């Protein structure tokens, strides 16, 4: 079956699984709240997720996989920022080479989303082969395989060697008091009557 740019919604409409009103409602929800058309149809109660998955699986172009017991190489999780993976609800699962070309298999809920596939190819520099997985399995796999977020910055613990002030203070030894440019500046200010002898003594020796 040739996959057109009309994506999943039009395919489900053509297959008679939804009607035009249901599609328009889901598209409106998608425009207002974001997300995926399949997720909108499920949330509106028009189709169960299993029906959408079975429909996509019936298209010979898409393979359905289970992520529950899949071991995903950690390096694949660094190809795309974690926040982006969570937002797009996709997860890379396998990388292989074919000649000079790198091929990346990516699990997603809607493998008909051509724009998403193009964006992933641009971001990774790989040819992306989409495979089908449920939203719940993708979320669990991301939670399992993404590295933990770093803890927020904390104040230095009591008794630490350096305090916040220590890191922001300039050492007296490093102060440029012997800089000839400072001497010249002092002379100029003295000539203009802006510094007294007492001021100069304080600057140089206090």
Q: Which long-range contacts (CB under 8 A, 24 or more apart) does 33-37 make?
A: 36/89, 36/109, 36/110, 36/113, 37/7, 37/8, 37/9, 37/110
CATH topology of domain 74-145: GMP Synthetase; Chain A, domain 3 (3.30.300)
- Residues 51-73 have pLDDT tens digits of 888 888 777 577 888 898 888 98
pTM of the full structure: 0.57
Q: What is the pLDDT confidence band of residue 171, given thresholds at 50, 70 and 90?
A: very low
> Quick one: what percent of the chain has pLDDT higher than 70?
70
CB 37 within 8 A of CB 7: yes
Domain residues of the chain, as ranges? Answer: 7-58, 74-145, 178-206
Q: How far apart are CA 203 and CA 187, in angstroms?
A: 12
CB 79 within 8 A of CB 92: yes
Q: How far apart are CA 62 and CA 106, in angstroms?
A: 12
């Amino acid at each position: 079956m040739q996959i057109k740019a009309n994506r999943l919604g039009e395919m489900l409409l053509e297959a008679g699984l939804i009607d035009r009103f249901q599609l328009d409602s889901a598209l409106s929800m998608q425009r207002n709240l974001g997300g995926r058309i399949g997720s909108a149809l499920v949330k509106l109660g028009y189709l169960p997720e299993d029906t959408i998955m079975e429909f996509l699986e019936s298209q010979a172009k898409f393979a359905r996989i289970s992520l529950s017991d899949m071991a995903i190489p950690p390096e694949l999780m660094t190809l795309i920022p974690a926040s982006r993976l969570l937002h797009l609800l996709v997860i890379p699962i396998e990388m292989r080479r074919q000649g000079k070309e790198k091929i990346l298999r990516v699990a997603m809920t809607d493998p008909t989303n051509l724009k998403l596939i193009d964006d992933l190819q641009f971001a990774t520099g790989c040819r992306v082969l989409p495979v089908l997985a449920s939203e719940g399995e993708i979320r669990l796999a991301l939670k399992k395989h993404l590295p933990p977020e770093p803890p927020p910055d904390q104040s230095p613990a009591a008794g630490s060697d350096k305090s916040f002030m220590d890191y922001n203070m300039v050492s007296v030894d490093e102060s440029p008091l012997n800089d000839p440019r400072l001497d010249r500046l002092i002379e100029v200010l003295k000539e203009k009557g802006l510094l007294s002898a007492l001021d100069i003594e304080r600057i140089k020796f206090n």
